[in-house]
Structure 1
Amino acid sequence: MQHQEVPRRAIQTSMVPVSTRVKSIGPKLIPFLKTFCIYFVLWLPTSEPSWFSALIKCLPVLCLAFFVLAHGYSTGQYPSYSRKVLTGLLFSALGDVFLTWGDQGFFIHGMLMFGISHILYSWAFGLRPLRLWLALILLALGAVYYTAVYSYLQGTMVYAMVGYVLVLGLMSWRGMARAGCSRYERSWSRGCTAAGAVVFVASDLILAIDRFCFALPHARAVVMSTYYTAQMLITLSVVERSDRDHLWKRN
């Protein structure tokens, strides 16, 4: 019993203070924050898609991918969790490229890329704690949402939306379930994944309503700001996760 408790205590006492961690990760987030601002300053019209507008849209997410790489380089390790989040970010960036030409018939391709991204995030988050009651609640909410937008969908989008709602629900379930762990494992990184999952769902919900149902005021600004925020929160979870993996190996 004592042998099992030693690593746990070592992790609790050796965790880096939040203020120190913020100072450490802050500079690595500067590229993301700059490109985030550039996107909203340029505010390129969606009616005129181009490779330049696709690049501007992708840059914040690509900078988050760079953040994961830079953090792994600074710690000297790339754990499985970080690799899955990194791959999810890259698929998200590819999804952004397709959505740039969404009105030209590539919207469903973007949905597929983001669906793969959600599966990768879910894989990274894991299945513990399971919390099936949360999955049932999210499944019910997803069914209500799909029923509400069903009459607005046409063609293959009727079936594509079913798949996307399921994988988005899976990601949100696993992200939110991680926040409800035992007091020994509770951490700000798990809170980041839960918050990121919730904000991601809100972003996609607003996007779907604005695109398929009826126009919402300032929809694009709300969708993109919440989308980038969600990706940032999920990305930040790699920091403490890799710290814990390192401490477990040392103990």
Structure 2
Amino acid sequence: MDIMGYNERRWKKASVTIKSVGPKLIPFLKTSCIYFVLWLPTSNPSWFSALIKCLPVLCLAFFVLAHGVGLRMFPSYSKKILVGLLFSALGDVFLTWGDQGFFIHGMAMFGISHILYSWAFGLRPLRLWLALLLMALGAAFYTAVYSYLQGPMVYALAGYILVLGMMSWRAMARAACSRYRRSWGRGCTTAGAVVFIVSDFVLAVDRFCFPLAHARAFIMSTYYTAQMLITLSIIEQSDQDNFWKRN
């Protein structure tokens, strides 16, 4: 098989797909810009500020729905990503009132979201070495912040690190395939997982350990980027499902 020709055709198709999808991401990009332009203070949470915060993720959920309607099919993969996005939006709502005692509720919603993403990514290939590596990194981080935790957060953060690590493991493992099975969609999930880890790492340090300069801007920009990358993976997965359905 002509490997170079195969790779060239594959990435050319990916480029065309991305260009066709770009305009459909405009609502997400606009609402993300609105969030940063308004920059509503977190010290005075309201339903309006909660809506502004979760609108970009809701736009991604609408993107998934619209893509399924356009294909006249709604694969299981897309359904799981969609529900994961909705739980993430609910988590954003809870985190809007995080300083009023709802931070742990937001963590729970995001934990469910990560479980749904992991379910969508599947268990093949397994890549146990990657799971062990992420587990070790998660344990090291938890050990570093443990002394700053109090009450239920001692257990909540441990659980959250576990499900975030599981999601990241499945996202990265599916990209670590043979040369012929690698794809831009799998690359999106890997990049999304890595950015999610970085975003949550900064959030945890800023909230539990010590304040970081410009933390909120960094956390939200990386968070929205991670959700967008994970969402984009539905396009390639839907194309594959549609191919097998036709054949």
Question: Normalising to structure 1: TM-score of the pair?
Answer: 0.93
Does 1:125 pair with 2:116?
no
Contact 2:53 2:92 in 1 (8 A): yes
Cross-structure match for 1:65: 61
What corresponds to 1:6 in structure 2? none
Corresponding residue for residue 48 of structure 1? 44
Which residue number corresponds to residue 250 of structure 1?
A: 246
Aligned residues: 240
Residues 151-176 of structure 1: CA deviation (Å, up to 9, x unaligned): 00000000111100100000010011
**Does structure 1 conserve the Cα–Cα contact (< 8 Å) formed by 2:14 and 2:184?**
no
Q: Residue 233 in 1 paired to residue 233 in 2?
A: no
Deviations along 1:208-240, whole A, 9 cap, x unmatched? Answer: 000000011100000000000000000000000
Counterpart AA for 1:212 = F
Deviation, 1:14, is: 9.0
1:74 aligned residue? 70
- SS of equivalent residue, structure 1 residue 86: helix
* Secondary structure at the counterpart of residue 151 of structure 1: helix
Aligned partner letter, 1:26: G
Q: Which amino acid in the other structure matches residue 106 of structure 1?
A: F
What residue number does 1:212 align with? 208
The partner residue of 1:199 within 191, 195, 198 is 195
Whichever residue aligns with residue 187 of structure 2, its letter is: G
Q: Equivalents in 2 of 1:36, 1:101: separation in Å?
A: 20
Partner of 1:86: 82
What is the alpha-carbon distance in structure 2 between the residues aligned to residue 25 and residue 134 of structure 1?
31
Code of the residue aligned with 2:203 in structure 1: it is L
Does structure 1 conserve the Cα–Cα contact (< 8 Å) formed by 2:130 and 2:173? yes
1:134 equivalent to 2:130? Answer yes
Q: Match of 1:3? A: none
Displacement, 1:18?
A: 2.5
Matched letter for residue 82 of structure 1? S
> Which aligned pairs between 1:145-164 and structure 2 lie closer than 5 A?
145-164=141-160
Deviation at 1:128, TM superposition (A): 0.6
Equivalent in 178, 183, 187 of residue 183 of structure 2 = 187
Deviation at 1:89, TM superposition (A): 0.1
Give the superposition deviation at 1:23.
2.8
Match of 1:111 among 107, 113, 131: 107
- 209-218 vs 22-31, which moves further: 22-31
Which of 1 and 2 has higher RCO (CA within 8 Å, sep 6+)? 1
Once the two structures are overlaid, the 10-residue window that deviates more, 178-187 or 150-159, is 178-187
The equivalences for 1:163-174 within 5 A come to 163-174=159-170
Alpha-carbon distance in structure 2 between the residues aligned to 1:15 and 1:207: 35
Shift of 1:22: 2.1
Task: Note closer, same or farther for the CA distance 1:22–1:148 as it changes in structure 2 (3 Å cut).
Answer: same
Q: 24-33 or 111-120, which moves further after superposition?
A: 24-33
Residues 1:230 and 1:174: Cα distance change in structure 2 (over 3 Å): same
CA distance in structure 1 between the aligned counterparts of 2:177 and 2:85, rounded to whole angstroms: 25
Q: Gaps spanning 5+ residues in structure 1: where? A: 1-11
Runs of 4+ more than 6 Å apart: 12-16
